[in-house]
């Protein structure tokens, strides 16, 4: 068994180098496919970070009537934090703190500053700022806030003002996820067809040798094996080369993406997850190349 396996690997490597341009063309196409696959992985990282950034800016603010005591508000805060949809902690802003924030925001406006100083009664309301784990959770939180024993204490709930934005965000995230999945499937099919056709060309070039091997009693596995090895070699080389080409591209675009999405460092993600990314590339490339090679040779052997 070991002897047969070593011969298959030997013939596969020999054929890969002997085929020259067809092998180079296979590797080149695989590199392009893997670069696109890598781009899709990084696109998911960027969109995921963008989604988190947008989600952090969306919340539900509940403003309480001025006759609601602080103890009642804190009890409601605790009850909200027990909901599985709510991302703790729920931020409590007292009436005094709300007035301080208002004064800080308008400190450059002398008229408003003077008016705030002359106020005898604080007109602002206490509030709770509620964040959800995901945009899909906001409707459940809003339904909870509609309960009569709670709703009577509220002056305003901002979810209904932000509902269109939240619903739109949910749709955009869903489209991104579906689009990414479809693009991945499309790339896999394209890469597979390219390798399939390249291996078919290699089989045609070596058809005389294959006929001789079958005439002397070589098994189908011995005939098929070297071509599968060729596909695996092409996948491995393409995986290494695609990451080598992707590294400077990621380094160059990382600062620009960081401007649009604060806190995002794509290059840091790249080098901290380099091994995992290489394994993804390797598995993707080898799986497509070896499977396409197997199918191509099997089709020939059937004929």
Question: What residue ranges define each of the domains in the chain, with the CATH number in brackets?
Answer: 2-54+170-302 (no CATH), 66-152 (3.30.70)
- In 3D space, the residue among 157, 92, 154 whose CA is nearest the CA of residue 129 turns out to be 92
Per-residue pLDDT of the chain (303 residues; tens, 9 = 90+): 666 667 667 666 676 777 667 777 778 877 887 887 888 788 778 877 777 777 677 788 899 998 899 999 999 999 999 999 998 899 999 988 988 888 888 778 777 777 767 777 788 899 999 988 887 788 888 889 888 888 889 998 887 566 676 667 667 767 877 777 787 677 767 767 776 776 677 666 666 666 676 677 666 667 777 777 777 887 888 888 989 999 999 999 888 888 777 777 888 888 899 889 888 888 887 887 777 777 766 766 665
- pLDDT at position 161 is 60
Give bridge partners of residue 128 from the DSSP assignment.
62, 92
Supply the DSSP string of 162-220, one letter for each residue.
Answer: HHHHHHHHHHHHHHHHHHHHHHHHHHHHHHHHHHHHHHHHHHHHTHHHHHHHHHTT--H
Backbone angles phi, psi at 156, to 5 degrees: -160, 140
**In whole angstroms, what is the distance from residue 179 CA to residue 147 CA?**
38
- pLDDT at position 163 is 63
- In 3D space, the residue among 223, 219, 241, 217 whose CA is nearest the CA of residue 293 turns out to be 223
- pLDDT at position 126 is 92
The SS3 of residue 262 is coil
**How far is the CA of 195 from the CAs of 17, 97, 297, in angstroms?**
16, 65, 12
**Confidence (pTM):** 0.63
**In whole angstroms, what is the distance from residue 231 CA to residue 284 CA?**
12
**In whole angstroms, what is the distance from residue 254 CA to residue 268 CA?**
9
Backbone angles phi, psi at 63, to 5 degrees: -105, 130
Q: 3-state SS of the chain: helix, strand, coil percent to 5?
A: 80, 10, 15
- pLDDT at position 81 is 92
**In whole angstroms, what is the distance from residue 93 CA to residue 86 CA?**
17
Supply the DSSP symbol for 109: -
Q: Which helix (H) or strand (E) holds 92?
A: strand 86-93
Question: Please, are residues 128 and 90 in contact by the beta-carbon 8 Å criterion?
Answer: yes
- pLDDT at position 19 is 67
Question: Please, are residues 141 and 132 in contact by the beta-carbon 8 Å criterion?
Answer: yes
The distance from CA 42 to its chain's CA centroid, rounded to whole angstroms, is 7
């Amino acid at each position: 068994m070991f002897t047969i396996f070593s011969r298959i690997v030997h013939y596969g490597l020999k054929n890969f180098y002997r085929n020259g341009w067809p092998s180079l063309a296979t590797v080149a196409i695989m590199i392009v496919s893997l670069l696109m696959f890598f781009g899709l992985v990084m696109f998911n990282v960027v969109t995921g970070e963008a989604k988190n950034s947008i989600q952090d800016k969306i919340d539900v603010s509940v403003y309480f009537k001025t006759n609601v005591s602080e103890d009642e508000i804190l009890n409601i805060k605790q009850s909200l934090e027990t909901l599985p949809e709510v991302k703790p902690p729920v931020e409590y802003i007292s009436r005094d703190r709300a007035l301080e924030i208002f004064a800080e925001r308008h400190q450059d406006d002398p008229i408003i500053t003077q008016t705030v100083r002359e106020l005898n009664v604080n007109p602002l309301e206490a509030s709770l700022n509620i964040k959800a784990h995901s945009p899909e959770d906001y409707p459940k939180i809003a339904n909870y806030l509609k309960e009569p024993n709670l709703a009577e204490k509220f002056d305003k709930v901002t979810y209904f003002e932000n509902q269109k934005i939240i619903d739109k965000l949910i749709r955009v995230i869903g489209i991104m996820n579906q689009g990414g999945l479809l693009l991945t499937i499309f790339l896999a099919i394209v890469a597979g067809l390219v390798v399939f056709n390249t291996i078919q060309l290699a089989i045609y070039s070596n058809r005389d040798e294959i006929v001789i091997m079958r005439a002397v009693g070589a098994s189908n596995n011995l005939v098929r094996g070297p071509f599968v090895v060729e596909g695996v070699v092409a996948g491995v080389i393409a995986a290494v080369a695609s990451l080598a080409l992707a590294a400077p591209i990621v380094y160059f675009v990382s600062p620009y993406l960081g401007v649009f999405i604060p806190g995002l460092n794509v290059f840091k993600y790249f080098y901290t997850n380099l091994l995992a990314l290489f394994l993804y590339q390797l598995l993707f490339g080898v799986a497509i190349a070896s499977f396409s090679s197997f199918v191509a040779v099997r089709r020939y052997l059937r004929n």
